[in-house]
Structure 1
């Protein structure tokens, strides 16, 4: 039996099946995403969603869905499913689903009387081409398939509605048509692997509703344009391949192309392989050959902080050093352009955040652990030293080295840390001044920079960095360690933030830490008692003022909960690192039990991956973005660390 398989009882129960989503990507920014019953529940959902750089920097839904109907003896059975206003679902095609399996590719098996139809979906890597193979596994009489494409041609952040501007013209191409609803968009080619009949029957399907947008307090209704339908007879045992793309297809190649793509897919037959598959979905290569890590799906872009946090887990932990180096090549270009105040030529966002260069050094440090310090010093040593000089010389616009040797930043008016939610234009968590993880990163970076300098025989650089590290260590202990044995989250002048937050886990986890073993133990104990959940570390302790663990409701309500008690899986990776460094093998069984909470998520929310965050209270529902790079990365890194301590 497949690892990721859902039977008829679950698939036909919309309360169970609608919340489960499935994601496919092409590793160039395009994706296909819906619920496992093919009912779109978000405005971000769509069968064929691609970037259109000629228009803007967003993704755009061209083909929202493709309804397939089975026709026998003149009777049509529509396998599609849409939600309309008033909680009405039509045409209720989910009742024909026998099973859904996404071991290699998402595969839905339908049964309509004596007809068994299997649908398999792949998104071709690095091409704007989606392929769907329909196979008639069984039928006792003549069978015809009918396909109705639902077109949107809109940004993922907007809706489309019936209008007189939409272009309804189409051109017949081999085994299909091409069409384009609005100027500026590419043509959408819809073709089949064999000859089909297209019947032009234009209509708008009005009042389609997206319940996930309703939950989030947004507008939730749109109209979709259906230009007509395709019709094709199919015999028992025969397969037909449909292609949606932005370039014309050679229809003779569609069947072998689908099989080739299928053969390249690794099976998702266990927890680890699911995470590897999810890791690859964040890979993006643009038309210039620059490689990036997307922060998450469906609405995140390549953000600098997320890139450096996620990159080691997504690559080094699964022995994909080559892709690490490719992404770092792009990132180094962006970092240097930022430090030299040149226009950015890479699409790496938020490079100006003050902790980004420090996370870049941490990221390089993980490379050194995997590939050796000598190789790391040759490849990235100069970048590390240049970053440290840039900060030390006071050139960063919002990261200043104070007289005591620590770094400070201004986050009073604008969120500058990973806890970046805002309300009414102000940070919900105004972390400012001396921030605990900034200074843990700073101390770690100084020590690591010194180590690389020693490796490269630059003793003068090593001496300077070691002196700065010694000064920072003394100031760190004097500034952050409080009388209750944990760390202040930030210190701004006379103000000390006593909130129990997970940011103190970083100095306990980093290779170079200013803390003693006893201090690390105190931090791990408090994190275990007050912050640890089956889905990650809470962003705030239930005992602290302002605890708000449920990430639900309209945007403003969610903003106030975003970092006020919600649980984040990526923090668990650093918790594991701290635990294993301090307690070694004695904590292995405990950590393995904690991993069960993440494996459970393979069958929930977005199948085979981890969402952005979870409610901080039971039952710990997954929330936010359906797939989040840092979470997948740090659970992969945690699994790698477990293996190292086992053997």
Structure 2
């Protein structure tokens, strides 16, 4: 799907900064700037290199200043209130697999195309310049560098040195290849204003420095192509004629992600291509992993297990799925999976109750796709340890109670996905027996019953536990007066809040309630929580509901799970709706129609992606991470199930 934007989409500098593109390189590195080419966040970069996959990221080339004679074609806001307003000369911006800009100014048309090598820390630029003037013109590119860790600013006194066609800083070297006129300049620093950081209380300004320019002179009536290639030393820098090859390789790489699925929907095809952005290598394990979201997040266990079915299985990346699951299996401890992976000598964090149960679900969904019995035999001991640890008790207050249900969380440990903690404040305390955790628990027990049958192992213990869980769940979670499920069993008033977590008790492969009650849950969720772009985390009528997500971090955190709309639970909603309506043609048609709204969501924010969150009251603008793995993965999983 090709996304095209015209002048009406960037009438002002503010409009020009509303949307951005994203390219990634399978290492954790990426390229992302606004559709006008500016940096509106400190995490925006033309080249965000990754020195050790996937988390050791450096903002290498922050932005590009582009100029035609005296006309500045680039767009950027500065800390002193001044602006570059090149968006006025931008006639169109398009994105399919890589971004393309077209500028027109005083008889000169410039087509700019950029790409990030899908396997290296290398970025390419290609400018096709047509001069229809009666005199010559000079086009110039001046890159501004940071060589700063992602999210940080340049250090005071930091030097960036030019050594021939090599830029040196902080023990890093960036090679430059170009067919243009390469010229060194005295180090020139700029200080930027980051609109999308300032509104959220993040660092509102940052600096970058230039040490060279690349220029081309274009004669009257001449057409000329200017090519520039940047590659971190240690990578073989692409040869001068390779920009087109890099662009072709990017398209071929994304083609493979789309072609392994049999997609009918254009939205699904686009999401399948976008899914490729989240899978990266992990140098420390030699395997693959899934980054939770751009630009902020790294790889987390819970997010990985929720995203994996859509990101990997729906796109036919079965070996990638195995690699990821094996990595987590090796790092299982006390029946728990890492919530945050070890890197740089740090110990992993295991503060999640759901990742291990969702791991079992992923193994099951993988088997359903591949019938890979050998892999099930390999994973079976790990899954046994998970069940044993949850039954007997493990860290973070996670244990099976006498009624067969799982309790989790204690003191300040937040171990469900609603995990915000502000000092000693828990905005959504869910200590006790959370509804989705017990749905995952039952699902895991039924899967173990199934796998034991496949492998010829004893299965009675799993059957007995599952039956006990079902009886307790039905008795203790159902609220007849609200036609839905409690959110948690803790004895607190918040137990009866209407939240989206109950939808997983209907959507999972194995569930506990009768069809009529499942249908009531789906209808209550639709009435109280559904929006076209996701489910609210709390109903609007609740006194704890926060309609807006924004401001300083504490204000954002207080709203994060208190009404804020999340796209990823909508995947479970659609599957649950289809299930309780017996996958009828009418139900399928309704879901297809409702999901058409996602095309609009994919035009806003990060082009071709789905974001982390929206406001709870009016989900009109994406917030949080502009590209979120589990948002993309869950919707892809729905499309696969809808279309097969």
Aligned to 2:273: 277
1:430 equivalent to 2:442? Answer no
Q: Deviations over 1:234-283 (max 9, x none)?
A: 57443222122212635445345435435525479932222112210001
- How far apart, CA to CA, are the structure 2 residues paired with 1:168 and 1:377? 52
Which residue of structure 1 aligns with residue 159 of structure 2?
167
Matched, 1:292 2:284: no
Equivalent position to 1:322, from 316, 319, 322: 319
1:208 aligns with 2:192: yes
Assess if the C-alpha contact under 8 Å between 1:39 and 1:81 holds in 2: yes
Counterpart-to-counterpart distance in 2, 1:435 and 1:317: 29
Q: Is the 8 A contact 1:334 1:346 kept in 2?
A: no
Q: C-alpha separation between the residues in 1 aligned to 2:251 and 2:533? A: 34
Partner deviation per Cα, 1:167-197 (whole Å, 9 max, x = no partner): 2432003xxx3221xx3x41222331x2523
Determine the structure 1 residue equivalent to 2:643. Answer: 643
- The equivalent of 1:224 in structure 2 is 208
Please identify, of 364-373 and 435-444, the stretch whose mean Cα deviation from structure 2 is larger. Answer: 364-373
1:81 to 75, 83, 95: 75
Aligned to 1:261: 249
Aligned to 2:617: 617
Aligned to 2:225: 239
Distance 2:17 2:297 in 1: 22
Q: 1:229 to 1:588 in 2, by over 3 A?
A: same
Structure 1 stretches of 5 or more lacking a match? none
Q: How does 1:357-372 map to 2 (within 5 A)?
A: 357-372=356-371
Q: Deviations over 1:570-597 (max 9, x none)?
A: 1011111111111021322221222122
**Retained in 1: the 8 A contact 2:61–2:143?**
yes
TM-score when normalising by structure 2 = 0.91
Pairing 1:447-458 to 2, within 5 Å after superposition: 447-458=446-457
Q: Which runs of 5+ in 2 are unaligned?
A: 259-264
- Show the counterpart of 1:150: 144
Is the partner of 1:620 in helix, strand or coil?
A: coil
Deviations 1:335-373 (A, max 9, x none): 2597699x9767996444122111111222222332238
Partner of 2:417: 418
Kindly report the root-mean-square deviation, in angstroms, between the aligned alpha carbons of the 2 structures. 2.6
Structure 1 residues 344 and 169: alpha-carbon distance in aligned structure 2, compared to 1, 3 A threshold: closer
Return the alpha-carbon distance in structure 2 between the equivalents of residues 588 and 488 of structure 1. 28
Q: Which residue of 2 aligns with 1:14?
A: 13
Contact 1:500 1:540 in 2 (8 A): yes
- Counterpart contact for 1:434–1:491, Cα < 8 Å: yes
State the secondary structure of the residue aligned to 1:116. Answer: strand
Q: Distance in 1 between matches of 2:186 and 2:519?
A: 70
User: Where does residue 540 of structure 1 map in the other structure?
Assistant: 538
Q: Distance in 2 between matches of 1:618 and 1:366?
A: 35
1:579, 1:387 → 2: CA distance? Answer: 30
Q: Distance in 1 between matches of 2:349 and 2:224?
A: 51
Match among 60, 66, 69 for residue 68 of structure 1: 66
Distance 1:352 1:66, change over 3 A: same
How much does 1:634 deviate? 0.6
Distance 1:574 1:548 in 2: 23
Aligned residue-pair number: 624
CA distance in structure 2 between the aligned counterparts of 1:456 and 1:45, rounded to whole angstroms: 50
The answer (yes or no) to whether the contact 2:16–2:87 under 8 Å persists in 1 is no
Change (3 A) 1:349 1:600: farther
Query: Displacement, 1:155?
Result: 2.4
Q: Secondary structure at the match of 2:496?
A: coil
Whether the 8 Å CA contact 1:338–1:351 is kept in 2: the answer is: no
User: If the length of structure 1 is used for normalisation, what is the TM-score?
Assistant: 0.91
Report which stretch shifted further, 237-246 or 99-108.
237-246
In the alignment, the residues of structure 2 paired with residue 242 and residue 85 of structure 1 have an alpha-carbon distance, to the nearest angstrom, of 29
1:37-48 paired onto structure 2 within 5 Å: 37-48=36-47
Q: Which position in structure 1 is the counterpart of 2:590? A: 590
Contact preservation (8 Å) 2:565, 2:614: yes
User: For the Cα contact (< 8 Å) 2:408–2:431, is it kept in 1?
Assistant: yes
Q: Report the more deviating stretch, 493-502 or 468-477.
A: 493-502
Q: Distance in 2 between matches of 1:596 and 1:496?
A: 35
Q: Distance in 1 between matches of 2:376 and 2:451?
A: 5
Say whether the 8 Å CA contact 1:302–1:349 is kept in structure 2. no
Secondary structure, aligned partner of 1:587: helix
Matches within 5 A, 1:349-498: 350-372=349-371, 374=373, 377-458=376-457, 460=458, 462-484=459-481, 485-493=483-491, 497-498=495-496
What is the deviation of 1:411?
A: 4.2
CA distance in 1, matches of 2:9, 2:341: 49
How far the C-alpha of 1:96 sits from its partner, in A, is 1.2
C-alpha distance in 1, partners of 2:603/2:427?
33
Q: What residue number does 2:261 align with?
A: none
Contact 2:160 2:167 in 1 (8 A): no
Name the SS of the counterpart of 1:432 in structure 2. Answer: coil
- DSSP 3-state at the match of 2:609: coil
Where do 1:117-196 residues align within 5 Å?
117-140=110-133, 141-160=135-154, 163=156, 165-173=157-165, 177-180=166-169, 183=170, 185-192=171-178, 194=179, 196=181
SS class of match (2:484): coil
Confirm or deny: 8 A CA contact 2:167 2:175 kept in the other structure. Answer: yes
Residues 233 and 349 of structure 1: CA distance in aligned 2, closer, same or farther (over 3 Å) = farther
Distance between the aligned counterparts of 1:85 and 1:395, measured in 2? 51
The offset of 1:616, in angstroms, is 1.8
SS at match of 2:242: helix
User: In structure 2, the residue corresponding to 1:238 is in which secondary structure?
Assistant: strand
Q: Please name the residue that 2:103 is paired with.
A: 110
For the residues of structure 2 that align with 1:578 and 1:246, how far apart are their CA atoms? Answer: 47
Contact 2:313 2:369 in 1 (8 A): yes
